[in-house]
Amino acid sequence: MTGRIHSTESFGTVDGPGVRFVVFFQGCPLRCKYCHNPDTWDFSGGREVTAEELLAEYDSYKEFLRSGGITATGGEPLAQPGFLAELFSKAKAKGIHTCLDTSAGVWGSSTAEKIDQVLSSTDLVMLDIKHIDPVAHKELTGLSNSHILDFAQHVSSLGIPLWIRHVVVPGITDDPEELTKLGEFLSTLNTLKALDVLPYHDMGKIKYQQLGLDYPLEGTPPLSKDEAIRARDIIMKGIRSGLKKQKP
């Protein structure tokens, strides 16, 4: 079996625990306005590889990756569930820690069985939750978030550790009420292990120019680290509020 990938990164330090071999899958169904990898959207782009080729590349760096493993990101890796399941299964057989970085935009009744095959060999899921409000989520990404939130609950029910990522964009995802609602939702995830609140940046603008695309958030200022910290504090307060509501 072959898969279509955009690229690989030898020593990733922000894509899961430890130092990791990162595989950027080609193709994504979402069109997030702040996406900094628009070159991964096209499902026909990239190059074809086998799981064996990727694991051979991993092996060439494995002496430096002992505390890490393999992370599948994108693009959207779950859009190629058969290939990803094979890659993760073979990685697990070699004792390699597997991390899935996903937005879960392809999760649904028609894909659940194949995606569960991926999850059976997944040690950690890093899930991007773009916006807690379904209407605002569709405006931001092109799709509603109901199936994405359902995926989060499903992963938690399987006992798989979850890291949640949320990008804070000024005027779009920084509303305190919505951040509180996000926190209350996260309080229902029993396997939540970490929360990464990331400040919006516009460093991907050059890629849009190279691809001849208009940058959707032209004029939106980058978020400061202090503002991201304040947003994280609001989400954490929402988590604590949600946990209190769950107590009998």
Per-domain residue ranges of the chain:
2-246
Confidence (pLDDT) at 204: 87
What b/e string do you get for 235-245 counting C-beta neighbours within 10 Å, with b at 16 or more? Answer: beebbeebeee
Below-70 pLDDT ranges, the chain = none
What 3-state DSSP class applies to 47?
strand
Confidence (pLDDT) at 85: 98
Confidence (pLDDT) at 90: 98
Confidence (pLDDT) at 144: 93
Q: Among candidates 21, 27, 33, which has minimal Cα distance to 204?
A: 33
AA identity, residue 90: K
- Residue in this structure with the two tokens 């990803």, named with its chain if needed: 84
92: Cα within 13 Å, side-chain hemisphere: 16
**2-246: what fold?**
TIM Barrel (3.20.20)
| Residue 166 Ramachandran class (φ > 0 left, ψ -120 to 50 alpha, else beta) | beta
Confidence (pLDDT) at 19: 93
Instruction: State the DSSP code for 79.
Output: G
- Residue in this structure with the two tokens 């782009």, named with its chain if needed: 45
Confidence (pLDDT) at 64: 85
